[in-house]
Amino acid sequence: MYNSRYTHKADSVYKALPEGKDMDLIFTLRFHRKVKKDNTISLNNEIIQLPPSRMALSYMRCWVEIKIREDGKTYVLYKNIIILETRLQKPIRELDVERKQRYLSQRIIA
């Protein structure tokens, strides 16, 4: 009696994927870089030149997001809009933070 009076049917908490959402851009490695004065960014010891687009002629001093898919395809985004699609020449290596953490965990404290 008590349970039937105070319970109600709950709506599903799962939502449908929005139309046009690219799952390949969600499951990626993500990095943030600040664009240099010559409209370039560096990642993995490679220099990436950013071309002018309809949004801006230059992205100097702007923060961009770099997304790298598992197959190596690389996207550079500014304000969640893709401004460049490319491939890195070398495979991505470990992040500096991960290397530092691994190094610090191996140290012996006397």
Nearest of 74, 96, 72 to residue 84 by alpha carbon: 74
Residue 103 reports pLDDT greater than 80: no
> For residue 83, is pLDDT > 90?
yes
Phi, psi of 83 (to 5 degrees): -110, -15
Reply yes or no on whether the pLDDT at 76 is more than 80: yes
Give the model confidence (pLDDT) of 28-73 as tens digits.
Answer: 889 999 999 999 999 888 899 999 988 889 999 999 999 998 888 9
pLDDT of residue 7: 76
Res. 110: pLDDT tops 60: no
Greater pLDDT, 7 or 51: 51
56 three-state secondary structure: coil
HSE (CB half, 13 Å, CA atoms) of 44?
Answer: 17
Amino acid sitting at position 22:
D
pLDDT value of position 104: 66
Please check the confidence at residue 20 and state whether its pLDDT lies above 70. yes
Rounded to two decimals, the pTM is 0.69
Q: What ranges make up the beta strands (E) of the chain?
A: 29-34, 40-43, 46-49, 63-68, 73-78, 81-87
